[in-house]
Amino acid sequence: MTTDYGADQIQVLEGLEPVRKRPGMYIGTTGPRGLHHLVYEVVDNSVDEALAGHCSHITIDLNADGSVTVTDDGRGIPTDVHSRTGKSALETVMTVLHAGGKYGGGGYKVSGGLHGVGVSVVNALSEWVQVTVWRNKKEHVQRYARGEAQGELDVKSGAGSRTGTSVSFKPDAQIFTETIEFDYTTLAGRLRELAYLNAGVDITFTDNRLDLLKSDEPKVNRYFYEGGIREYVEYINKDKQPIHPDIIYVSGEKNGVQVEAALQWCVDAYSENLMCFANNIRTVDGGTHLEGLKAVLTRTMNNFARKRNKRKDNESNLAGENIREGLTAVISVKVPEPEFEGQTKTKLGNTEVRGIVDSLIGEILSEYLDFNPSVVDSILEKAIQSFNAAEAARRARDLVRRKSVLESSTLPGKLADCSSRDPAESEIFIVEGDSAGGSAKQGRDRRFQAILPLRGKILNIEKTDDSKIYKNNEVQSLITALGLGIKGEEFDASQLRYHRICLMTDADVDGAHIRTLLLTFFYRYQRALIDQGYVYIACPPLYKLERGRKHTYCYSEQELQRGIGELPDNAKYNVQRFKGLGEMMPVQLWDTTMNPESRTLKKVEIEDAAEAERIFTVLMGDRVAPRREFIETYGPKLTMADLDI
């Protein structure tokens, strides 16, 4: 071992070497999320052209060879020689970190992008990239391999009046070792979101991977919303009953900050759904724009409550969460110099935005409510009902705190805690019934694994008010055992007792229903649990395939058939179907589902918040018609193998 530490030990990384050396610093992860961010970065550049008023159509193609092509009809990346690098502006943008038109040169008023990492990062992390630019009646083409230009810029005449940029790239399997296959649904969610956030931008998304699609025709979707975020709210609330059919819309600009907001309250919703964006980036942790929206809603609605004699002088103001009950709102701000806070850069920090949002929304909201007194009354009546329910819930909560679920861990349906008191290493398995609970308690590692069996099916939170939530025994158990806060309050991760909350239900229809009810509870009660990655789904096997003394566990019908097909021709084997976790021996449950060395846990993530919101409403809400339509649409696609008979 050497102890020398001199100048020769100081590494100097040239060009794009730092990106290939430490890709996680630039795209967060080399897993699927980072892989898809490569596409978002290229698309965001095209969207920025649209924001500047120079682009109206963007096409994204997933190609058969695993590459992606993003094409726009913008101005085209400049191709003349850059004074500082001596290379073309195109090659400079592609090969130099932090080179682009978004650093104060007047090229863009506002821009999104993946927090400014630039297309050079995409170039660095791709096996190859090919860029085509149509500009000044010429076509310019240059190819790159792992960040380095492969020859000079090739220029051809005859492009006519066409302008724009096309970027094709194939992710580098040396970097993305987990997968380099793009997920259509994940990309479609983000592209649809971008189209809603940028009214009038026409996005066409095509999947040309015919082998993967098992089809002779490409899969094509077009996202084009002239109504912008108004149509976004309309889409989210499609299966709800609105209090007011017309969506309240705000659009304005102050001190260079553009503000857009769309709001609609619904009768049949007991929670709020606020989605906020800054420069097209979804700010899941909120920030000053969300604070401004909440403040103006609370103040304005309380003013109207006094004006309309809905609250007397001796009565307290309605709380913000009461006013926002049943509200779906999308707020999008475009800030010239955005400041993002937090490790994940998902919280807007610009202090001036709070006041700008407050004043712009306050003016238009007050005007709308002045002219629509019946709407005001309906919103206020719902808010007052929420206020009264919250008071009842508070009393019920006090009972929960006095009668802690942790006092008796030996009773059926109660917590069998782990010995560790470190939440970071502790995990809890939520199981259905005493039978599964018994196997899980015997099979677990008591040091860091806790078990919480639930009796029956918990309440459907989607259509339950707060006062009923806190009176339910199973919900009480969940809230107290996990260390959850109060619905509507800011999520406090320091109070969590376990950092892995694992739903472990039977592999049958009832188990799927209970899992859905639990996910609905987490999504509606404290969605930050999911957003911050604390909720998991355990994956118990469906079958045990035995031949002689050897056995394997199969987690799907396809895996079982594959296993049978690999057996010798004499067809002597036994298949055991695990209908419930209680049928498994404790050691089997440990080996297959609970042992960190051999188990599979699926982290619950929400890539497409609007679609998640809509599906929860359809499947778990009050209205039967949308649920029937959903079943009629997707039911025929189920095969006999999907049914648990």
268 tagged catalytic: no
Backbone dihedral angles phi then psi of residue 340, each to the nearest 5 degrees: -110, 140
Extract the tokens encoding 598: 């051999």
β-bridge mates for residue 261, sequence order: 250, 331
506 tagged catalytic: yes
432 tagged catalytic: yes
Burial class of residue 44 in the structure, from the number of CB atoms within 10 Å of its CB (0-12 exposed, 13-18 middle, 19+ buried): buried
Contacts of 205 (CB under 8 A, 6+ apart): 59, 60, 187, 188, 191, 220, 221, 222, 223
Print burial letters for 481-490: b (CB count within 10 Å at least 16), e (below 16): bbebbbbbee
CA gap 88, 93 in Å, rounded: 9
DSSP 541-602: -SEEEEETTEEEEESSHHHHHHHHHTS-TT---EEEE--SGGGS-HHHHIIIII-TTT--EE
Which DSSP helix (H) or strand (E) runs through 631?
Answer: helix 624-634
Cα 172 to its chain centre, rounded Å, is 25
β-bridge mates for residue 545, sequence order: 552, 575
CA contacts within 13 A on the Cβ side of 244: 23
Put residue 162 in one of left, alpha, beta given phi > 0 → left and psi -120 to 50 → alpha.
Answer: beta
- Extract the runs of DSSP E, i.e. beta strands, from 408-523: 427-432, 449-454, 500-504
Active-site entry in 183, 445, 508, 559: 508
CA gap 186, 361 in Å, rounded: 32
Nearest to 409 by CA among 457, 455, 445, 451: 451
Report strand pairing: 257-265 vs 248-254. Answer: antiparallel
The 10 Å Cβ neighbour count of residue 226 is: 10
Q: Which amino acid, residue 179?
A: T
Q: Are 228 and 198 in contact (CB under 8 A)?
A: yes
Active-site entry in 432, 462, 466, 474: 432
Report strand pairing: 281-282 vs 273-278. Answer: antiparallel
DSSP 227-290: TTHHHHHHHHTTTS-BSSSSPEEEEEEETTEEEEEEEEEBTT--S-EEEEEETTEE-TT-BHHH
Handedness of CA 169, 172, 173, 177 (dihedral sign): negative
| 388 secondary structure, DSSP code | H
Active-site entry in 239, 285, 427, 506: 506
Backbone dihedral angles phi then psi of residue 583, each to the nearest 5 degrees: -80, -15
**Cα-based angle 22, 143, 50 (whole degrees, multiple of 5):** 80
- In angstroms, how far is the first alpha carbon of the chain from the final one? 64
Active-site residue list: 432, 506, 508, 510
